[in-house]
A and B are shown apart, each in its own frame.
Chain A
Amino acid sequence: MERKVVKKKARVLAVMVVLVFAVLVGRLAYLQFFQAEKYTTLARQNHMRLIPIPAPRGEMYARDGKTKIVGNKPVYTVSLVYLGLKNTPQVAQRLAEILSIDADEIMQKLDAQKLRLYQPVKIAANVPLETVLEIEQHRLELPGVVIDIEPVRDYPLGGIAAHVVGYVRQISEQELEERKDKGYRPGDEIGKLGLERKYEDYLRGTAGARQVEVDAQGRPVRDLGISKPVPGNGLILTIDHKVQKAADEALARQIKYLQENTKHKDAKAGAVVAVDVHSGEILALASYPTYDPRVFTKFLPEETWRELVEKQAFTNRALSAYPPGSTFKMVVGIAGLETGIIDPDKKMFDPGYFMAGTRINDWKPGGHGYVDLRKAIQISCNTYFGTYALEIGIDKIAEYAGQFGLGSVLGIDLYPGEEEGILPTPESKYQLWKQNLSSEQRKQLEEIEAKYKELIENAAGEKERQRLRRQLRRERQRINWNLVWYDYDTGNTSLGQGDSKYTPLQLACYTAAIANGGTLYKPHLVKEIIDHRHRTVKKFSPEVIRKIDVAPENLAVIREGMKLVAQPGGTAYYQMKDLPVAVGAKTGTAEVFGEDNHALIVAFAPADDPQIAVAAIIQHGGHGGTGAGPVVHDVLAAYFGGELVDGKWVFPSE
């Protein structure tokens, strides 16, 4: 071959070689120069592992600051690390046998986390020691199985105050989505109800982590550092654990008693709230039906969960609104005294009914005869309060009820929050019924309203205006009878019937305000937030919602009447008579259309120097005194040092 030809071909070959090398260098430049950061991150993710160390949740103490209501206990958890081994299904099978669960369940949990290889997947919590020992014995058959100790909620006093403390469970996907910027991870526990939820951010603590370097098999090669978990902050509650225990037990016992021994078979639910009258601190708060928070510390069968949901065990009835019945009558008394309409010593004759547009009967056929204010409270005289209510007028009554916090949210620090309740007024009634009108009627009504608004504005003189108002009232009646407020509405409201609805918490706080001379405190459950070394993080001092515009001597008269309720002849005498202190009380029996009455009672004690106020309701429990009285009795008994011995309260002799 000619040398020239060879050289030419060699040049072509050289050009091709240069191209090959250029492609390789180009690709290397792309990877190592332009994409270096991305691959550096990927390499880090390969060999660095953060192993979270869960922080123990904050604990909850009773008001003495020492008695633990909610704590933590260490339990064994079993986790499985997916190592990418071929025999993982066999390991899962073997582990499932030991834990006596379904192997598919394990595989599902593993699959859900396959993308995060080498991260332990929690298979079971609260594993008994025998099972742990069995796993240790079969170590060699169970590669990747890890046993850890983790804190789990503990309830040293049993499951008391379930609706107050609430419970924790694994975070749901939705919660995770909402709180992902707060560092929650799948499998974390989170407060779902009660204080656990309300104070989640304090209780939760900060999870620690161990940073380890691992090799390609996921085996830790060395520890790179550890950040210790910071335990969550604890809560010192306002709850008195003895009173709370009495409240929990009394509710359950009384409901059982009513169902088994009386005609009130529908008595299935109830609530009781006890509050310190000088601070608004909740001493006890119980609701029934309830649940045992301990069920959430171990595996919870679906069936048990469904049962609890079906019987509404998670509803906090202390924060749900009920018609108050006669427990409302003190508001009428106070409004009457304040307006000067009621002279407390003036007696009225009760023929057994009163007229409020229509005839409203007293609960006692034939009436109570001559009664003054104190007596009227003692015997719960409908005629007395109904008659005066009409004279006082709904506006004044509603004004005082509102001042006592009835029908408004008081702002207790609990999840879920309070119902507002209903304080009936002409305006609220009008609005309520307006909503029920057909759209045609509503349009008609709006036209009339607009017309009269203009007419009244342009009217000459007060007389003309009043005439126009009466005319408007008739126009409204024509559209719907219920758009207008009537005297019997005032009568019903003053007796705590009709549309009235207040929560047991509102009733307790209202009673406390009567007892303490007219200060409405904001009810609260947490006195202090402490860190894990019991140092104060935050203190909650009593908060006054308002000083009620009422003369102390008028409240004193009301208290005297309430004291008589628990004296011979009063409606709650038999329930309260064995208590070591005098009690002020008021019973209520709220009529429920077509069903058994609700039994209510509010009380404070000692009658002459009030410390504690209590309100209780038993749904469909019949008469206030016999239906709900025993619950309040037990709460007061516990508060004043009583001990329940063989079903009888024993008080320390002085």
Chain B
Amino acid sequence: MLFRRIWRRLDYVLLCTVLLVIAFSLITIASATHITTPKNVGEESQLLFGILNLDAMSFVIKQLIWTLMGLIIMLAVIFFSYEDWPKYARALYIFNVLMLMAVIFIGKTALGAQRWIAVGPFVLQPSEFAKIIIIVTFANFLANREGKLNTIKDFIPAFAFIGFPMLLILMQPDLGTSLVFMAIMFGMMFMAGANPKLLGGIIGGGGLVGFGWLYAYFKNPGKVWIPLHDYQVDRLTIFMDPYRDPLGDGYHIIQSQIAIGSGGLFGKGIFNGSQNQLNFLPEQHTDFIFSVVGEEFGFVGTVLVLALFFIIVYRGIFIASQAKDTFGTLLAAGVVSMMVFHILVNVGMTVGIMPVTGLPLPFFSYGGSSMITNMIAIGILQNVYSRRKKLVF
């Protein structure tokens, strides 16, 4: 029957690699949330620390629950054939915009940005799911315009399609996720057959304008207007010289590089990284979890994680090339673009070659919204892959 056929046609290499990454992540989260028990305190305090550690273990358990929920949602995604999705594209797009507006008006504020909305007992981060919706709706949008992406005139509707929700996210403000939107957009447009020279020109030109703008901003302080707050500019550029503010904006970057560098070839061993265990490393179970890998498992550990990610991405590209139709190809390309960008920016941030933007590492950083989003993304890939040829009844 249908379910069994789908079951047999899933990409198990992809699935197993994802599960391996998650397993590695759970071990790392355990270490990152482990509280060092002081050895020179009384028995009572030791007990207290034991309880706190139990609490710390709950991070692992919670993440495990998110993983299981994610897997269930992934399965659900797999079984609703992607070929039926274009029907809902318009509704999804409108839902997405409404959701992002809701964040701005009723969202919870954290770290100077409104990114969360409460849905019943859960706190969700709609910008995470927005990425998925954008991939699906934009794939549909591009599939309908196949072969008609040659001139700048053809590009403008596509830019507008992505630009509107992206602006809403920028208003939260969530610079990182809006950049993810850009990556998704350019990746998918490339796969959709957009004029590569024009596309490259726009990316290169846009980059140059961006750099030029920032340069002018720094050379003439207070005179050049920029669509960002000063603190955002500072955070965006501090990675180039973290010692400009070693106890403030540069602190994360410096400590992360110390953690990774001091890990050396084989690492200091689990629960043994001083940067991690003594909390020199900030946000070590979320944004900076890769630094914990670097410190405690060394170069061997970081390369292993990157290799696993490479397999996932590689399978994604393979699936894009095997898809039955353009819509499927574009879906896979969107997922690949999103994942690669997350990996590049997150890992790049921990090693000091990318700005700190708060993008989580897929399947690795602690957090439910991110886990479910990425599971849906894998579900999309599996969905496309399992329907790569017409099913024979």
Interface residues, chain A, CB within 8 Å of chain B?
1, 3, 5-7, 9-10, 12-14, 17, 20-21, 23-25, 27-29, 31-33, 35-36, 38-40, 42-44, 46-47, 84, 213-217, 220-223
Chain A's closest residue to B344 (CB) is A20
- Interface hub of A31, A33, A213 (most chain B Cβ within 10 A): A31
Are A1 and B351 in contact (CB-based, < 8 A)? no
In the complex, number of A-B residue pairs with CB atoms less than 8 Å apart: 141
Are A32 and B265 in contact (CB-based, < 8 A)? yes
- Please indicate the chain A residues that have their CB under 8 angstroms from the CB of B352 in the complex: 27
Given contacts A32-B261, A33-B265, 10 further A-B contacts (CB under 8 A): A1-B326, A1-B329, A10-B320, A23-B353, A25-B303, A28-B299, A28-B303, A35-B261, A43-B274, A46-B280
Chain B's closest residue to A47 (CB) is B274
B302 on interface, CB distance cutoff 8 Å: yes
**In whole angstroms, what is the CA distance A32 to B302 when docked?**
10
- Please indicate the chain B residues that have their CB under 8 angstroms from the CB of A35 in the complex: 261
Chain B's closest residue to A215 (CB) is B278
- Contact flag A9-B190 (CB < 8 Å), given A38-B261, A40-B262: yes
**In whole angstroms, what is the CA distance A14 to B306 when docked?**
15
- Please indicate the chain B residues that have their CB under 8 angstroms from the CB of A20 in the complex: 340, 343-344
- Contact flag A222-B258 (CB < 8 Å), given A43-B275, A216-B278: no
Interface residues, chain B, CB within 8 Å of chain A?
36, 38-40, 146, 187, 190-191, 193, 247, 255, 257-265, 274-275, 278-280, 294-295, 298-299, 302-303, 306, 309-310, 313-314, 317-318, 320-321, 323, 326, 329, 333, 336, 340, 343-344, 347-348, 351-353
Question: How distant is B339 from chain A, measured CB to nearest CB, in Å?
Answer: 9
Are B351 and A215 in contact (CB-based, < 8 A)? no
- Please indicate the chain A residues that have their CB under 8 angstroms from the CB of B190 in the complex: 9, 12-13
**In whole angstroms, what is the CA distance A3 to B190 when docked?**
15
Are B329 and A36 in contact (CB-based, < 8 A)? no
Question: How distant is A308 from chain B, measured CB to nearest CB, in Å?
Answer: 43
Question: How distant is A220 from chain B, measured CB to nearest CB, in Å?
Answer: 8
**In whole angstroms, what is the CA distance A17 to B318 when docked?**
12
Are B193 and A1 in contact (CB-based, < 8 A)? yes
Q: List 8 A-B contacts (CB under 8 A).
A: A20-B343, A31-B260, A32-B263, A39-B260, A40-B262, A42-B262, A46-B255, A215-B279
- Contact flag A17-B317 (CB < 8 Å), given A24-B347, A28-B351, A43-B259: yes
Partner of B280, one of A1, A5, A10, A216: A216
Chain A's closest residue to B146 (CB) is A1
Are B321 and A28 in contact (CB-based, < 8 A)? no
Are B261 and A42 in contact (CB-based, < 8 A)? yes
- Contact flag A40-B321 (CB < 8 Å), given A6-B329, A21-B306, A28-B299: no
Are A213 and B278 in contact (CB-based, < 8 A)? yes
- Please indicate the chain B residues that have their CB under 8 angstroms from the CB of A220 in the complex: 40
Are A31 and B317 in contact (CB-based, < 8 A)? no
- Please indicate the chain A residues that have their CB under 8 angstroms from the CB of B348 in the complex: 23-24, 27
Are B38 and A32 in contact (CB-based, < 8 A)? no
Are B306 and A32 in contact (CB-based, < 8 A)? no
Question: How distant is A249 from chain B, measured CB to nearest CB, in Å?
Answer: 54
Chain A's closest residue to B273 (CB) is A43
Are B258 and A43 in contact (CB-based, < 8 A)? yes
- Please indicate the chain B residues that have their CB under 8 angstroms from the CB of A42 in the complex: 258, 261-262
Partner of B302, one of A10, A28, A40, A44: A28
Are A17 and B310 in contact (CB-based, < 8 A)? yes
- Please indicate the chain A residues that have their CB under 8 angstroms from the CB of B351 in the complex: 24, 27-28, 31
Are A32 and B317 in contact (CB-based, < 8 A)? no
**In whole angstroms, what is the CA distance A1 to B313 when docked?**
22
Question: How distant is A434 from chain B, measured CB to nearest CB, in Å?
Answer: 63
Chain B's closest residue to A18 (CB) is B310
- Please indicate the chain A residues that have their CB under 8 angstroms from the CB of B265 in the complex: 32-33, 36
- Please indicate the chain A residues that have their CB under 8 angstroms from the CB of B303 in the complex: 25, 28
Chain B's closest residue to A12 (CB) is B190
- Please indicate the chain B residues that have their CB under 8 angstroms from the CB of A10 in the complex: 191, 317-318, 320-321
**In whole angstroms, what is the CA distance A20 to B340 when docked?**
8
